[in-house]
Amino acid sequence: MSPALEERPFGKTGERVTVLGLGGGYLDKYSLADGVATVRRALEAGINYFDTSPSYGRGASQVILGKALEGYKEPYMLATKLGYLGTPSAFRSPDALRAQLWENLRALRRSKVDVLQVHEADWHCWWSDEAQHEELVRPNYSYDFDDAAILEVLREAKAQGLCRFIGITGNNAEELSTVLRCVDVDSCLVAYNHNLLFRRAQQTVLPLAQKKGVAYVAAGILFGGSFTRVHPEWLVAPPLWVAPEVRGRLARLYGLQKASGLSLVNMSVRYLVGDSAISTILVGAASPVELEECVAAAQQGPLPPDLHQSIEELGVELELQDFL
């Protein structure tokens, strides 16, 4: 019998979640049937945290999760998001945000979710009327975070029982930290900035989340598939994100992988499992086989201390955007 997945506190909410969660960003990658099968395999493996968004798969992710989770009685937590609206002004419109929330619930086939989050809270347009899409939160800018429409709607949803907890998410650690310092939320998800190479969130978001008692969710740990297998060709003809500083560290990572005999997926999951401050680690599996590799890794527990330390020394503290 396989060991049960470790459970950890979800911030100061009183809830406990499995160290491995399922991120819904790729559930429609192969087919809707594969997506449903992946969610159900996760349930069988004991995973009790699921994260999605209306923007994932242009809505397909929420539909898949709604179908797969319908009627399931064992306790689990389901998180979704508000964001990626049609115009910058919609980000500042309570009515537009409420409409999206009700559409999310319809797609998920439920009357409430456990966690309702701001999708890309590190975007300026959530907090100011002066912004275009995807412009990041500006340093040294005076924001009125507390009166933003998105926080009004999240608090309202919590008060009405449409969600139990509220949170923020983002892909840019420094800007997300700026928001986290100024808002009162239950959880914070950061993607692409806490993995085998990129560690900016480890230095910025994570300590702040710990100080505030906020659940810290690590997502994008396989870096959009870049850490699922070795790419020796990237050391010769590197993609844009493999800047000179990164290339040397990537070569060393590949050396550690070869010497250890472990897959990059196994190393990715177990490296993060070794950080007890992380509430849950989201993996974006798109098939039961992909999920099972991640589950098996989590069940093995942290990496050997010497290998963990060697990976720690590879960390690039700059944000990904600094290399693009």
Spell out the long-range contacts of 258-264 with Cβ–Cβ below 8 A and sequence spacing 24 or more.
Answer: 258/230, 260/307, 263/229, 263/293, 264/196, 264/222, 264/227, 264/228, 264/229, 264/230
DSSP 171: S
Cα separation, 6 vs 23, whole angstroms: 18
Contacts of residue 213, defined as CB under 8 A and 6 or more positions apart, other chains included, come to 11, 12
In 3D, which of 217, 125, 132, 130 has the Cα closest to residue 175? Answer: 125
DSSP codes of every residue in 25-73 = TTTTSS-HHHHHHHHHHHHHTT--EEE--TTGGGGHHHHHHHHHHTT--
CA dihedral 208, 211, 217, 220 (to 10 degrees): 20
Question: What crossing angle do the helices spanning 94-108 and 149-159 adopt, rounded to 10°?
Answer: 50
pLDDT at res. 77:
98
pLDDT at res. 317:
65
- Sign of CA pseudo-dihedral 51, 53, 56, 58: positive
At which residue do the structure tokens 């009357």 appear?
111
Domains of the chain with bracketed CATH: 7-230+264-303 (3.20.20.100)
Output b/e per residue, 206-226; b: 16+ Cβ within 10 A. bebbeebebbbbbbbbbbeeb
pLDDT at res. 130:
87
DSSP 9: E
pLDDT at res. 134:
77
pLDDT at res. 133:
74
Determine which helix (DSSP H) or strand (DSSP E) holds 198, and give its type and residue range: none
pTM: 0.96
Cα separation, 136 vs 175, whole angstroms: 7
pLDDT at res. 318:
57
Output b/e per residue, 160-176; b: 16+ Cβ within 10 A. eebbbbbbbbbbbbbbb
- The letter for the amino acid at 190 is V
- Per-residue pLDDT of the chain in tens (324 residues, 90 and over written 9): 678 999 999 999 999 999 999 999 999 999 999 999 999 999 999 999 999 999 999 999 999 999 999 999 899 999 999 999 989 999 999 999 999 999 999 999 999 999 999 999 999 999 999 877 779 999 889 999 999 999 999 999 999 999 999 999 999 999 999 999 999 999 999 999 999 999 999 999 999 999 999 999 999 999 999 999 999 999 999 999 999 989 999 999 999 999 999 999 999 999 999 999 999 999 999 999 999 999 999 999 999 999 999 999 998 765 555 555
- The letter for the amino acid at 243 is A
